[in-house]
Amino acid sequence: MKLKTITINGRTFQYKKKQFGENVWTNFYEGTELKFRLFKFKKVEVPKVAFTIYHDFNNPSLTKEWWRSEIEKQLILLNREEQIERGELI
């Protein structure tokens, strides 16, 4: 499945539905990172997971408002992680 793109509060994320058995979740990606592929013996650039929401974005029982709320919660946590990396305590 191809990555879809969404812009939220000026930040652009790509997202993709993932599934393992009955479990379905949505990964949101921002930027890329290098990963080493053991079987190919080379480094490849892959999307970097910014956050995950453990629901299917195709679920019709979840409204746009619900998704907006959940993404906003994750953005607050993501911004806080960036603040901590910069050494901002409060």
39-61 pLDDT, tens digit each: 767 888 899 999 999 999 999 99
pLDDT grade, residue 1 (50/70/90)? low
Least Cα distance to 51 among 24, 80, 29 occurs for 29
Q: Are 6 and 29 within 8 A, CB to CB?
A: no
What does the domain layout of the chain look like in residue ranges?
4-85
66-88 pLDDT, tens digit each: 999 999 999 999 999 999 989 98
- Report pLDDT for 90: 74
The encoded tokens of residue 46 equal 């892959």
